[in-house]
Amino acid sequence: MDNKNSTNLPIVLAISGASGSIYGLRLLQFLLEHKYGVELVISNSAKRVMAQELSLSLSSNLNEVKKQLLSHLKLNISDEYFSVWDHKNIAASISSGSFKTRGMVIIPASMGTVGAIASGTSDNLITRAADVCLKERRKLVIVPREMPFNTIHLENLLKLSRVGAVIAPASPGYYSKPKTLTDSIDFVIGKVLDLFEIDHSLFKRWSKTSDIFSYAMSSPE
Ligand SMILES: Cc1cc2nc3c(=O)[nH]c(=O)nc-3n(C[C@H](O)[C@H](O)[C@H](O)COP(=O)(O)O)c2cc1C
């Protein structure tokens, strides 16, 4: 019998071709640094975006991709709990509900991937793995990145929310007074980690003792 509880299970991390691939890589870095198992899928469009935004040209060889990512993220770790899957490999373990995971996060999520999941096409590994999470009632966190949204985007996101996905837009808060781009990115990553109940200190939390709270309480209307 499998006695693993869900907190020991890997997280499926998908990076699709929306702008903001740095969010996906920062989450990958945090999870691997803290020894969480990761099943990673990167769409072909995401590779295109990474080349544009991060000057990172990923190989078509999956072992090479793993090495490139560990090097890019300056991670010197054992990669036994880190798998990279081909976007087209619909026979990968994560395309079956019998392979247990803690859930899935798509970060950043393109409107194309959101639309495909909402219509249930399951035509690549990201859309199939998301479909599996929904049917198995596992956590599916979608971090959309588009601006502005059209009505089709909004309807697709609403549909996914109604069937149990959590829609967590890449929109950092400012009450924690971010000073750098990294602070803003970490705010979004911290909110995603909260959804998986993973402890972190990536942003300052709102509390009665924090200076941001005191300021708000003493400000004139
Ligand atoms: C540099 C670049 C930035 C892009 N940014 C976005 C974006 O923010 N949101 C989005 O929905 N699509 C964006 N796209 C378009 C998607 O990459 C495109 O729709 C693609 O088909 C999505 O494929 P995927 O969902 O399989 O990754 C961008 C494309 C490029 C080249």
CB of residue 184 inside a 6 A radius of ligand 1: no
Q: Band of the pLDDT at 168, cuts 50, 70, 90? A: very high
Query: What torsion, rounded to 10 degrees, do the Cα atoms 196, 200, 205, 207 define?
Result: 90
Mean pLDDT of the chain: 92
Q: Which residues pair with 15 in a beta bridge?
A: 42
**Do the Cβ atoms of 124 and 87 come closer than 8 Å?**
yes
CA of 209 to the centre of ligand 1 (A): 42
Q: Which of 176, 175, 190, 172 is nearest to 26 (CA)?
A: 190
pLDDT at 179 over 70: yes
| Coil, strand or helix at 102 | coil
Pocket test residue of 45, 123, 146 for ligand 1, highest count of atoms within 8 A of CB: 45
CB of residue 89 inside a 6 A radius of ligand 1: no
| Coil, strand or helix at 115 | helix
Q: Which atom of ligand 1 lies closest to the CA of 114?
A: 25
Per-residue model confidence (pLDDT) at position 182: 96
The structure tokens listed for 151 are 């009505």
Task: Return d(Cα 38, Cα 60) in angstroms, integer.
Answer: 19
CA of 8 to the centre of ligand 1 (A): 32
The structure tokens listed for 214 are 């005191």
| Coil, strand or helix at 178 | coil
Q: What is the pLDDT of residues 62-93, one digit of tens each?
A: 999 999 999 999 999 887 899 999 999 999 99
By CB atoms closer than 10 A (0-12, 13-18, 19+), residue 73 is middle
CB of residue 111 inside a 6 A radius of ligand 1: yes
| Coil, strand or helix at 51 | helix
Whole-number Cα distances in Å, 187 to 46, 120, 196, 201 = 22, 31, 15, 10
Q: Which CATH number fits domain 8-218: 3.40.50.720, 3.40.50.1950, 3.30.70.360, 3.40.50.2000?
A: 3.40.50.1950
CB of residue 46 inside a 6 A radius of ligand 1: yes
Q: Which of 133, 102, 106, 137 is nearest to 40 (CA)?
A: 106
CB of residue 145 inside a 6 A radius of ligand 1: yes
CB of residue 156 inside a 6 A radius of ligand 1: no
* Spans of all domains in the chain: 8-218
Q: What is the pLDDT of residues 92-126, one digit of tens each?
A: 999 999 999 999 999 999 999 999 999 999 999 99
CA of 18 to the centre of ligand 1 (A): 4
Q: Which atom of ligand 1 lies closest to the CA of 49?
A: 1
pLDDT at 219 over 80: no
